[in-house]
A and B are shown apart, each in its own frame.
Chain A
Amino acid sequence: MTGRSTSLKIKELKADIGLIKDLEITVGKIVEEWEERMGPTPFPSIKDLRNWDYKLLQRYKPLYMPFCDLCCLCTMGKCDLTGDKRGACGLDIRGQQSRIVLLACCIGAATHTGHARHLVEHLIEKYGRDWPIDVGGLSVEVEAPVTRLVCGIRPKKLGDFEDVLDYLEEQIVHLLSATHTGQEGNSMDFESKVFHAGMIDQVGMEVADIAQIASYGFPKADPDAPLTDIGFGVVDTSKPVIMVIGHNVPPAVDIVDYLNDHGLFGDVEICGLCCTAIDITRYNPKTKIVGPISWQLRAIRSGIADVIVVDEQCIRTNILIEAKKVGAPVIAASEKNCLGLQDRTLDKAEEVVADLVEGKTPGALILDSEKVGEVAVETVLKVAPKRKKFKVIPEVDELVKLSKTCTKCNDCRRACPNDLPIPDAISKAANGNLTSLMDLYEDCIGCARCESACPKDLPLHSFIIKASEKRLKEEKYKIRTGRGAIQDIEIREVGAPIVFGEIPGVVAFVGCANYPHGGNEVMEMAEEFAKRRYIVTATGCAAMSMATHKNGEGKTIYEEHHGAFDAGGVLNVGSCVSNPHIAGAAIKIASIFARRNLRGNYEEIADYIHNRVGAVGVAWGAMSQKAASIASGFWRLGIPVIVGPHGSKYRRMLLGRKDRKEDWYVYDARTGDRVYVGPSPEHLFYAAETKEEAMVWIAKLCMRPNDTTKGRAIKLTHYIDLHKRLYGKMPDDIHLFVRTEADIPITMKDEIKTILKEKDWKPSKIPDPTLLPRLIRAKEA
């Protein structure tokens, strides 16, 4: 452990020189050794893992899909970068695209790291630097696998994270500086830095989640974390309602604490959207989740919230305008999101409450979470009786009347990210038929771009909500609260079946709710793979979307499946910042099952994961820069990520070429021989067009060179079965994944053997695979 310092706090000291109060002495740093030897890259700089990045990038070359042909980042521009043109600084279109990807990942990494810094500082202030890191008691000895891997330290106390955060912030500054005009110009080096940003992001998220798990007593690696309510219909609107939105949970925690301290908990409803909602249910499962990020507008306009408390990230930036329409005061609780409101942090709580209740101000900026707790509760108790759940969703007769004014200009449809046939639905609504409007509900991502585009200012999103009102009220589901880390014991039990391929894969559904056809698709994919005995993990909005549909027996996926990290499990790991527990599980397989050293040993562990751990990330509704950096954290570990069609707007894929045999050789660590292992996994980052395609590719991307023959046969069975069902035919690349006849699924023996004969297939060796020559044991001998 490196500690930032040894600190001594003395509340009161009587000495010869007088009375000294609140004395705090800080001395140097401690570096604690532990039995694990330090690896080659503790606290790596932005170039220390470049060789590893290049190994990946040579196999998975970037495919650029420019989203903009110009660069407008300096005053020499705008520069036209079309084709082989270069800008005034010399940069070409590949460099520009990779630069934008790096910028996005820096924004994502900075957001999570800033979030972590805020949390750690807040929690140190509340609990002290020596507050122990405990994320799972005796079940979790490797408490911070990503931090150990990247930084080479073993955090034990909250204060240990301060050095880690210093390092992360320094790296983000260097990465961001590389995007300045006249710095990096080579697209591959930009891509290496993208990977670095992703790795930094993973550490930042891990710090944030560990800090809140340890301090707030969230479920600690608990497969049986309690079920909680989710859905629009679960909110008890007969009570005053506080709605929390964002990602940084302290204000929401202090609202719950204030209610408990004053015996009011059952009297006020606490609900939320996005990751703050996930995290507040980890703190108290009697709070409720309304839904993912995209449900903000429908929740606000429906008038259910009497007070809205926002912290940071993914909050609608016009939330104050929307809240004003329904007369709900807004409390902004993060300095990153001040909303133009007056800073009332130092004002007396009762004065702020009075101003909010009387409507003298639409909101207040309060940068003290305890005061947020008090103001939110005292305000909601007084505002709720006045508001009477006032909403701005039009009544049917008004909707019909307004629909008649539509000029059928198509601007709404042309603004809609999903090209929804809004004009047709409005046309029918004008005749009193709301069914087509209701049909839009599932596919609507709630952005309201249709309204902004409408020359008649029709509240089109509200129309969709009105038409779907009955359905909204019936949305009552169960979600398992975020369990946090994966236990070491769970890793011991599944390490072998995962590495040998007998558990066919780990599928992580992560990211935002920018879906092409609604959240239902995420649930369908998760259900398919859970039934096939894959391990299904989820975080954030994806975890919520998976909950908001029921099976034929009226159960959600979390009620139907167990929550253990084992075959057939469906695990809600937690919020966005819980993603590193999924990466951490892969890392812990290398550490706990394979006994590889983690400490500062990134390249070796990534090589292990890439060649052995059949894990795939799926960010079906990826929208944000955070989602980009989360994905890039997985790429550097060699874990492939599939995004939905909107993910193509990240403008760069990382694609392998299965037709280039020379790209798919590894070293056999036993002999040093170069061995062809087939395209496993074929891509590192890839946008699928449809959920059917994604499902086939999830199965395919779980194959790894290390699979045993039994494991490969199981994986091939799933790949072929899904391909036949969804594509209507046998895959045409089976011969690339069969290494020996023992790999062939027994039930398909004859069919596959015929194909292999046609393809002139020859058996190949199953190596102890590595991309790193230094790991060849024969060489050492």
Chain B
Amino acid sequence: MATAESWQTAEVPGPKKALIISKPEVVVAMVKRARRPVLIVGHKAVEVEMEGEKLIDYTIKIASSMRISVVATAHTIKGFLERGFEKAFCMPIVDITNRLQDIDWKGLDGKGQYDLVLIVGIPYYMDWLVLSSLKHFSKLKTISLERFYQPNATWSFPNISVEEWIKSLNKIVSGLEAK
């Protein structure tokens, strides 16, 4: 099932397409190398079930394992707060996309612009457009942690099964936790 095609068949990308994350270790290495990473989490994170947990629980594990700013889009912030995670910032997806293109933006914590974006939990077509915007108008590296291939990211999983997805996210978490 692991194919590098847009999940929504007609969302055909342009000439510049995402590289496939064949090993979760690649994500770990890129995140560890990043100076200022940011994790964007959309509302589907509180909807998607993953073996008794929700996708948002994985994002909390990622955020807890390293120094990373977290942006909760839409009403996702409520899910973070309900889980006792209080470090997330709240911002619409179009706003964070806009800010990330401004090289003079000081970031959510006032410490400067980011250099790596991880994104997950956004509706497929919206994610496609957000990543397209960042591809065209920023120098940022973007990593899609979605289950389905996002061609406009710099790096993306191919279309994978839920099991593979869980396995990969767990590997990313454990890789980030390892010093």
Interface membership of B78, Cβ < 8 A: yes
Is B98 in contact with A727, judged by CB distance below 8 angstroms? no
Which residues of A, 685-700, contact B by the 8 Å Cβ criterion? 686-690, 692-693, 696-697
Q: Are A727 and B90 within 8 A (Cβ)?
A: yes
Whether, in the assembled complex, B158 has its beta carbon less than 8 Å from a beta carbon of chain A, the answer is no
B9–A728 CB distance below 8 A? no
Known contacts: A69-B132, A453-B9, A651-B129. The answer to whether A729 contacts B15 by CB under 8 A is no
Are the CB atoms of A63 and B135 closer together than 8 Å?
no
Give A709-743 interface residues, CB cut-off 8 Å to B: 726-729, 732
A66 within 8 A of B: yes
Contact B90 A689 (CB under 8 A): no
B98 touches A655 (CB 8 A): yes
Establish whether residues B75 and A692, one from each chain, have CB atoms under 8 Å apart when the complex forms.
Answer: yes
Provide the residues of chain B in CB contact with A651, threshold 8 Å.
129
B93 within 8 A of A: yes
Chain A residues within 8 Å of B73, by CB: 689, 693
For A685, give the chain B residue with the smallest CB separation. B94
Interface string of A54-71 (1 = CB under 8 A from B): 000000000111111110
**Among candidates A417, A697, A729, residue contacting B77 with C-beta atoms closer than 8 Å:** A729
Q: Does B112 contact A (CB under 8 A)?
A: no
Q: What CA separation (Å) do A656 and B15 show in the bound complex?
A: 31
- Among A462-470, A559-567, A641-649, which stretch is in contact with chain B? A641-649
A687 CA / B73 CA spacing, docked (Å): 12
In this assembly, does A411 line the interface, its C-beta being within 8 Å of a C-beta of chain B?
yes
CB distance from B144 to the nearest CB of A (A): 15
Instruction: Name B104's closest neighbour in chain A (CB-CB).
Output: A660
Contact A689 B74 (CB under 8 A): yes
Measured CB to CB, the nearest residue on chain A to B75 is A692
Most buried by B among A68, A651, A728: A728
The total number of A-B Cβ pairs within 8 Å is 121
| Contact residues in A for B97 (Cβ distance below 8 Å) | 63, 65
Residue B133 lies at the interface, judged by CB distance under 8 Å to chain A: yes
Instruction: Name the interface residues of A641-690: CB closer than 8 Å to any CB of B.
Output: 645-646, 648-649, 651, 653, 655, 657, 659, 686-690
Among B90-137, those with CB < 8 Å from A are: 90, 92-95, 97-99, 101, 105, 122-126, 129-130, 132-133, 135-137
**B114 → A minimal CB distance (Å):** 15
- Sorting the interface of chain B by its residue count into under 10, 10 to 19, 20 to 34 or 35 or more gives 35 or more
Partner of B75, one of A63, A646, A726: A726
Q: Mark B1-32, 1 if CB is under 8 A from A, else 0.
A: 00000011110011110000000000000000
CB contacts under 8 Å to B, within A309-360, are none
* A727-B129 contact given A93-B136, A690-B43, CB 8 Å threshold: no
Whether A727 contacts B125 in the complex (CB less than 8 A), given A688-B92, A689-B43, comes out as: no
B81 in contact (CB, < 8 A): yes
The proximity string for B residues 71-94 relative to A, scoring 1 for CB distances below 8 Å and 0 otherwise, is 001110110011000000110111
For residue B37, CB closer than 8 A to chain A, the reply is no
In the complex, the answer to whether A66 meets B126 with C-beta atoms within 8 Å is no
Q: Contacts A414-B8, A690-B74, A727-B75 hold; do A80 and B15 have CB atoms under 8 A apart? A: yes
Complex contacts, A645 vs chain B, CB 8 Å: 123, 125-126
Interface centre among A651, A689, A693 (most CB of B within 10 A): A689
Interface residues of B (CB under 8 A from A): 7-10, 13-16, 42-43, 73-75, 77-78, 81-82, 89-90, 92-95, 97-99, 101, 105, 122-126, 129-130, 132-133, 135-137
Q: Which 3 A-B pairs have the closest CB atoms?
A: A69-B14, A728-B78, A689-B74
In addition to A65-B132, A688-B92, A727-B78, 11 A-B residue pairs with Cβ atoms within 8 Å of each other are A82-B14, A83-B137, A411-B9, A414-B7, A648-B129, A649-B129, A687-B126, A689-B93, A692-B74, A727-B75, A732-B90
Would you mind naming 16 contact pairs between A and B with Cβ atoms under 8 Å apart?
Answer: A64-B136, A65-B97, A67-B129, A69-B14, A69-B136, A82-B135, A415-B10, A645-B123, A648-B125, A657-B98, A686-B94, A687-B94, A689-B73, A689-B126, A696-B75, A732-B89
